[in-house]
Amino acid sequence: MTTVLDRPVVTQRSAVELDGVGKAFGRGPDVVTALSGVDLRVRPGEFVVLLGASGCGKTTLLNLVAGLDEPSTGTVTVHSSRPAVMFQEPALLPWLDAGRNVELPLRLSGVGRADRRARAAELLDLVRLGGQARKRPHELSGGMRQRVALARALAATTAGTDEGGGLLLMDEPFAALDAITRDFLQGELRRIWAATGTAVLFVTHDVREAVRLGQRLVLLSSRPGTVVGEWNLVNVDDRESLTDEVTGRLREVISTHART
């Protein structure tokens, strides 16, 4: 954690690996299968987008990776440092200013006061909020709050050692923002991802957002969630037609639910 701007050496290991992961809630006749047979690998530093309609178990999957829940079947292996989670709402602590919100994960992992203050200032600079550290959440706009949340998540996932880089889990983080701010933040996320080299697992139901942001796009079906399609986006030139293609596939997947 000496500097954010160095990309960690990329190895062939994965940041996180899911093997045949299934998750069911409840028992007996009321059982709800949220996920079944999900295989997914995110390489260190890779930007993977999970796309799916409602009920595809996106949030369940992120909870499993974050260690908030245990899979019913299969295994989840996290090789990176502790994954950080960003939610749809910024979830900043309203009684702490922006700087101290970013410092919180560092404080929890026992980083000294001076170090964590310096690190928080560095991360706030990265999200273009340098000099706003003393502002409280209610004094910031929605987009600024979400950037503070991003800086906090980065602080959390890079809090321990810097080996292997971090892993950022993002649960529709821009869904609650207005269109202009969302567009701006998507660009910012790309820039910050490139600058920090953290792996990102980004969940969304917005095809356009998925195609714009990801290096790899994974399509999940709904009830139960399984992987039904995958696209490599790294060398795609025509994003418009790919957006149409993915949208078409998504509509197909959704239509299957009308028949059951």
Partner 1 sequence: MPAPEAIASPDTQDAASVGAGLDALDTPTVARRPLLRRVLATGVPPLVALALFIGVWQAVWASAIWPEYQLPAPLAVWDELVSTVADGSIWSITWTSVHRAVLGFAASVVIATPLGLLVAKVPVVRSAIGPLLAGMQSLPSVAWVPAAVLWFGLTDATIYFVVLLGAIPSIANGLVAGIDQVPPILPRVGQVMGAGSLDSARLILLPAALPGYLAGTKQGWAFSWRSLMAAEIIATSPQLGVGLGAYLKHGSDFNSIPGVIAAIFLILLVGVGIELLVFRPLERRVLRTRGLAPA
The contact set with partner 1 (CB under 8 A) reads 7, 10, 43, 45-47, 66, 68, 82-85, 87, 89, 91, 93-95, 104-105, 107-109, 128, 136-144, 156, 180-181, 184, 187-188, 190-191, 193-194, 215, 234-235
Q: Which is nearer to partner 1, 126 or 250 (CB)?
A: 126
What's the token pair of residue 179?
């269109």
Q: Which is nearer to partner 1, 56 or 106 (CB)?
A: 106
* Smallest separation, CB 105 to partner 1 (Å): 4
What's the token pair of residue 157?
């996932």
Q: Which is nearer to partner 1, 23 or 100 (CB)?
A: 100
* Smallest separation, CB 112 to partner 1 (Å): 16
123 neighbors 3 (Cβ within 8 angstroms):
no
* Smallest separation, CB 71 to partner 1 (Å): 17
Q: What are phi and psi of 207, to 5 degrees?
A: -60, -45
The 10 Å Cβ neighbour count of residue 187 is 12
Q: Which is nearer to partner 1, 45 or 52 (CB)?
A: 45
> How far is CA 203 from each of CA 56, 113, 208, rounded to the nearest angstrom?
11, 34, 13
Q: Find, among 39, 45, 37, the residue nearest to 13 by Cα.
A: 45
